[in-house]
Structure 1
Amino acid sequence: MQSSKNIDEVVSHFKCDADVSSYKPYGSGHINDTFFLKNVSFGGSDYLLQRINHRIFTNVERLTENMRRVTEHLKSKMKEYGNGDPLKEVMTLIPTDSGQFFYKDSVGDYWRMFYFLSDTKSYDVVETEKQAYEGGKAFGKFQAMLSDIPAGEMFEVIPDFHNIQKRLQHLDEAVANNAGGRVASVGAELEIVAKYASSMQYFQQPEQVATLPKRVIHNDTKFNNVLLNSNDEAQCVIDLETVMDGYVAYDFGDAIRTIVNTTTEDEVDLSKIQLNLSLFNAYVQGYLKEASRFLTDAEVNSLMKGALLLPYMQAVRFLTDHINGDKYFKIKFEGHNLQRAKAQFQLVKILDANAAAMQETILKEMNSLQHSAY
């Protein structure tokens, strides 16, 4: 918990009317620390204050410029087409007294502030087809509105973020170093890694590199990064710090990873991990309703590859962090990262068994949308 003196120092440098005494932790993110603050002005918007993990996001200035550019682009698109409310449907960064959109405090921590979007909610576990459909619409619309930003113009916040070859290399290094003394206890998990390693390198194959366009994508589309309104309708996509170039299938895959799983991403009872295919179908319908207008055939054909890759990659990342001694992700107990890895590997197995049928669902929905357009 931050001291009130530290929070007071930070808040004083943002152009806001925040009540410092009201601050309290907010959300369940793995990386950054987020706090909610009330507005002292009656009827004014409340705030979210976020301490940026600069050990992971090492270039806060360039990261912030990405976020500023993306949020301004989204708001401009909404105004241009009359398609939404920019103040409610896009995160708004609050400037500091120096005009920047981040502040470095006296102990070297970096902070940013947003307006809090009231009367919204997020879900760690999807409960209804409507929620899945709305999540699909939200991420599809997000990608569509950013699809005219040329590749190569965004700062690469985390190099090779979704490059599975690099993730496997990091795992190999972790195993070799064995910093946490845990390698001997994860033999079964390392066997699963090896079993799927070759097939998971689809996006590094020369043919795919040549045909799949790089686009500006979210790169962290777990379902709780969509805010829904009181009617469970999508309102805003949040957590924009990893927005940079990538393949659309990465976003599709991470969303599916957190939507179709019938339990949490760290479920200890692996028998509870099953696929909710009705939620998958609903997400696909919502996503393609928005994204079909810009997707190429090659991208549509790659979507299920992303759905297989992302839980596998997340499992590799959790396993790597476990072996390294839990240096990256926040954990709630010793062995938490290993438990997460086991759950994600189980999800990979089930997705692999159903991948052909799920891809057929995607193609049928895409075909239906294309025919209805004529």
Structure 2
Amino acid sequence: MSSVDTALALVASRFRLEGEVQSITPYGDGHINVTYLISTTKRRYILQRMNTDVFPDTKSLMRNIELVTAFLKARGKETLDIIRSDDGGTYIDNETGAWRVYAFIEHTISYNLVPNASVFRDAGAAFGDFQNELALFDASQLTETIAHFHDTPHRFLDFKAAVEKDELGRAASCRSEIDFYDAHADVYPVIMDGLKDGSLPLRVTHNDTKLNNILMDATTHKARAVIDLDTIMPGSMLFDFGDSIRFGASTALEDERDLDKVHFSTELFRAYAEGFVGQLRQSITEREAQLLPLSARMMTLECGMRFLADYLSGDTYFATDYPEHNLVRCRTQIKLVQEMEASEAPMNAIVEAVMASGPTSTAEHGEGGAR
């Protein structure tokens, strides 16, 4: 184990791992937590240093994950497997941070871009099934890990504060982007107002439903497990649907510099809606269905203004590789919103057709659902 970083090796030694540690290497491309892959003589694990600036209540965060994964396991679902620390806890705290370990889910892949409509349809079914399973879970047990996470009006207030403060003097270089978000202020309250007045039901939601938070089987490409449960909280199913579309129905990565490559795909929107609504057909309300297209725009607007607010504030939240990284991300989101707005009529027609159709069958599309 001489080649393993000493500090990381000490962290790993605090968990009940099988076998002798052979390597600990950086893994993945997440924005928030720092992730490593542990390889031992027996198996592999995921080691993460949690971002306690973003998630200051580590105890409640891990309790949420422990409750939800135990519930899903009891229902026969494949999910994250928390590896206990040497004292039986779900994480450790030391001078280098708060750390946790999950068993590595072997023979899986994840996608940063949708490879085809069938995979995206299966992803929609996976997140729809995830919500279905958790409909039986007592949401009152969960702690809100990030206050106002998908509260778009509150995010807009944060954005306006960042513009006003303009810590690094960057606002002058992105005035058109700032104006874009100001011009959309009238739509920001729609979902939150619906939750407040009861016209939208409160559900247990994942709240970060990017395509790469689903592990697909490496052979069948069917969904196996929903991961990254840090933001699981009560909310609207529109948060989950909209964020999936924001990420998955784009033809480019969210930090693509060449905006000519960034487009919104109505066909991918259709595929995801078929999978997602197909799983929730018995419980989705008429108002939720009506707002599915708007939710895609809303989550894209919200994410973009968060990227821009972070850029204006000195890149303190999202990990960046270069000074304009968050501004580039913001611009891809603006391009997607513009194309979604131009596609409003076909998006509405797609939802109407999906709602009018029967349950989506796996045989019809040649792809299985989540298992």
Higher mean C-alpha displacement, 29-38 vs 141-150: 141-150
Aligned with 2:160: secondary structure?
helix
Q: 2:290 aligns with which of 301, 304, 309?
A: 301
Q: C-alpha separation between the residues in 2 aligned to 1:344 and 1:249?
A: 18
Deviations 1:138-168 (CA, angstroms, capped at 9, x unpaired): 1111111001224433100000001111111
Compute the displacement of 1:134 (Å): 1.3
Q: Which amino acid aligns with 1:68?
A: E
Judge conservation of contact 2:61–2:143 (CA < 8 Å) in 1. yes
- Aligned partner of 1:177 in structure 2 is 165
Judge conservation of contact 1:7–1:20 (CA < 8 Å) in 2. no
Which residues in structure 2 correspond to 1:16-35 (within 5 Å)?
A: 16-17=17-18, 19-35=20-36
- Aligned partner of 1:235 in structure 2 is 224
- Aligned partner of 1:72 in structure 2 is 70
Q: Which amino acid aligns with 2:200?
A: L
Q: 1:61 aligns with which of 51, 59, 69?
A: 59
Q: C-alpha separation between the residues in 1 aligned to 2:195 and 2:324?
A: 39
Q: C-alpha separation between the residues in 2 aligned to 1:207 and 1:35?
A: 38
Which residues in structure 2 correspond to 1:260-339 (within 5 Å)?
A: 260-339=249-328
Q: C-alpha separation between the residues in 2 aligned to 1:21 and 1:154?
A: 37
Does residue 15 (structure 1) correspond to residue 16 (structure 2)? The answer is: yes
Matched pairs, number: 358
Judge conservation of contact 2:124–2:272 (CA < 8 Å) in 1. yes
Q: C-alpha separation between the residues in 1 aligned to 2:17 and 2:298?
A: 42
Q: 1:160 to 1:249 in 2, by over 3 A?
A: same
Higher mean C-alpha displacement, 151-160 vs 333-342: 151-160
Q: C-alpha separation between the residues in 1 aligned to 2:5 and 2:339?
A: 47
Q: Which amino acid aligns with 1:74?
A: L
Judge conservation of contact 2:145–2:233 (CA < 8 Å) in 1. yes
TM-score, normalised to structure 2, is: 0.92
Compute the displacement of 1:302 (Å): 2.2
Does residue 193 (structure 1) correspond to residue 181 (structure 2)? The answer is: yes
Displacement over 6 Å in runs of 4+: none
Identity between Structure 1 and Structure 2 (%): 34
Judge conservation of contact 1:11–1:18 (CA < 8 Å) in 2. no
Q: 1:202 aligns with which of 178, 190, 194?
A: 190
Compute the displacement of 1:73 (Å): 1.1
TM-score, normalised to structure 1, is: 0.91
Does residue 100 (structure 1) correspond to residue 101 (structure 2)? The answer is: no
Does residue 344 (structure 1) correspond to residue 342 (structure 2)? The answer is: no
Q: C-alpha separation between the residues in 2 aligned to 1:18 and 1:49?
A: 15
Does residue 154 (structure 1) correspond to residue 142 (structure 2)? The answer is: yes
Compute the displacement of 1:208 (Å): 6.4
Does residue 219 (structure 1) correspond to residue 220 (structure 2)? The answer is: no
Higher mean C-alpha displacement, 53-62 vs 363-372: 363-372
Q: 1:136 aligns with which of 102, 124, 144?
A: 124
Compute the displacement of 1:370 (Å): 6.3
Judge conservation of contact 2:266–2:346 (CA < 8 Å) in 1. no
Q: C-alpha separation between the residues in 2 aligned to 1:122 and 1:28?
A: 12
Judge conservation of contact 2:315–2:326 (CA < 8 Å) in 1. yes
Compute the displacement of 1:26 (Å): 0.8
Deviations 1:27-86 (CA, angstroms, capped at 9, x unpaired): 110011111111322xxx4111111000110000000000011111111222xxxxxxx4
Q: C-alpha separation between the residues in 2 aligned to 1:68 and 1:245?
A: 16
Q: Which amino acid aligns with 1:164?
A: T
Judge conservation of contact 2:65–2:229 (CA < 8 Å) in 1. yes
Judge conservation of contact 2:22–2:41 (CA < 8 Å) in 1. no
Q: C-alpha separation between the residues in 1 aligned to 2:239 and 2:111?
A: 20
Q: 1:57 to 1:18 in 2, by over 3 A?
A: farther
Higher mean C-alpha displacement, 183-192 vs 203-212: 203-212
